[in-house]
Chains A and B, each alone.
Chain A
Amino acid sequence: MKKRVYLTYPKEQVKEPLLYQVGRKFDVVTNIRQATISDKIGLVALELEGEPEEIEKAIEYFIEKGVKVEPIELDIIE
Chain B
Amino acid sequence: MSYMKALKCRECGKEYPKEALHVCELCFGPLEVAYEYDRMKGALTREVIEGRAPNMWRYKELLPIEGEPTVGGQVGYTPLVKASNLADALGVRDLYIKNDAVNYPTLSFKDRVVSVALSRAREMGFTVASCASTGNLANSVAANAAACGMESFVFIPYDLERTKILGTIVYGATVVGIKGTYDEVNRLCSEIAGKYGWAFVNINIRPYYAEGSKTFGYEIAEQLGWKTPKHVVVPMAGGSLITKIHKAFKEFHTLGLIPENTAKIYGAQAAGCSPIVNAVKEGSELIRPVRPNTIAKSLAIGNPADGYYSARVMRETGGWGESVTDEEIIEAMKLLAESEGIFAETAGGVTLGVTKKLIESGRIPKDESIVVSITGNGLKTQEALYGKLTEPTVINAKLQEFDDLVKAGGREYALKA
Contacts and interface: CB of A to CB of B under 8 A. Distances in A.
B79 interface: no
B268 interface: no
B303 A75 contact: yes
Interface residues of A, number: 24
B22 interface: yes
Contacts of B41: none
Contacts of A8: 288-289, 303
Interface string B21-65: 011001111000000000000000000000000000000000000
Contacts of A47: 28
Instruction: Determine the main DSSP class of B at the interface with A.
Output: loop
B206 interface: yes
B238 interface: yes
Interface stretch (B142-150, B186-194, B325-333): B186-194
B180 to A, nearest CB: 12
Contacts of B135: 78
A59 B183 CA distance: 12
Interface string B117-137: 000000000000001111111
B262 interface: no
B277 interface: no
B303 A68 contact: yes
Given A4-B28, A34-B28, A38-B284, A73 B190 contact: yes
A71 B187 contact: yes
Contacts of A78: 110, 131-137, 202, 237-238, 298, 301
Contacts of A45: 27-28
B105 interface: no
A47 to B, nearest CB: 8
A76 B132 CA distance: 6
Interface in A1-33: 4-5, 8, 33
Given A33-B27, A34-B27, A78-B131, A73 B288 contact: no
Interface of B: 11, 22-23, 26-29, 110, 131-137, 155-157, 182-183, 185-187, 189-191, 202-203, 206, 237-238, 284-286, 288-289, 298, 301-305
